[in-house]
Structure 1
């Protein structure tokens, strides 16, 4: 049974885990390190998350395979959330992160191509 308050469109951690495909442990870790602080807590102390939290978690999930550290993820999330005028060097930092992401993706694509070649060699 999922606990979802329909009037406020919030969800408990179990539903968030189900929707994102991430483990409860991972979501709790992201909460503990400040990457995904729970929107609120129930009187019983259970975490309650919003749609914005879901979207934030999906961005975190996209960054993870690209090798960004938790600190870098926090910085990227902050830059994405901040208006350009509040962070004068924000555009430069985002461009640097974009360049790294593109480079890492290209490396992953090369590795995947090598894996495909090996699978074909094995007769797959």
Structure 2
């Protein structure tokens, strides 16, 4: 196995179990470049690190907020940037993504409140 040294690794099945995502979803994120496997075994099986797990959890958090694959890739890149020289542009982009996330969450909260009202109405009729 040719994984990064000093990190624990896992196969895709363990990653799927830990994240609650399907193997198909994880493979898709690999195929589109959002979550490339850290390494491959000699037999060609994907191997993931704890960093990959954390990256996938961020992807999982972005998904319900309606971010596109391109936006997800951009956000992940912004999170990984440590260059202080681009801090102004980085902060502005992160602020725009934050604004979108807050607006989407508010929309989800309104929808959830409407669902709660219906559930209450249905409960009152039985």
TM-score above 0.5, yes or no: yes
Q: How far does residue 83 in structure 1 lie from its aligned partner after superposition?
A: 1.5
Which runs of 5 or more residues in structure 2 are unaligned?
1-5
Given the two structures, how large is their TM-score scaled by the length of structure 1? 0.91
Question: Which one has more relative contact order, counting CA pairs under 8 Å at least 6 apart?
Answer: 2
Partner of 2:118: 118
How far apart, CA to CA, are the structure 1 residues paired with 2:7 and 2:41?
A: 13
Q: SS of the counterpart of 2:123?
A: coil
**1:10-29 maps to which residues of 2 (within 5 A)?**
10-29=9-28
Q: SS of the counterpart of 1:123?
A: helix
Q: Deviations over 1:43-94 (max 9, x none)?
A: 0000000000000000000000000000000000000110252434110000
Given that 1:84 and 1:91 are in contact with CA atoms closer than 8 Å, whether structure 2 keeps it comes out as no
Moved beyond 3 Å, runs of 4+: none
Which runs of 5 or more residues in structure 1 are unaligned?
1-6
Higher mean displacement: 32-41 or 75-84: 75-84
How far apart, CA to CA, are the structure 2 residues paired with 1:29 and 1:86?
A: 33
Aligned residues: 118
Does residue 73 of structure 1 match 2:79? no
CA RMSD across the alignment:
1.3
Q: How far does residue 9 in structure 1 lie from its aligned partner after superposition?
A: 1.1
How far apart, CA to CA, are the structure 1 residues paired with 2:32 and 2:93?
A: 22
**1:13-52 maps to which residues of 2 (within 5 A)?**
13-52=12-51
Tell me: CA distance 1:117–1:65, structure 2 relative to 1, closer, same or farther (3 Å).
Answer: same
Given that 2:7 and 2:50 are in contact with CA atoms closer than 8 Å, whether structure 1 keeps it comes out as no
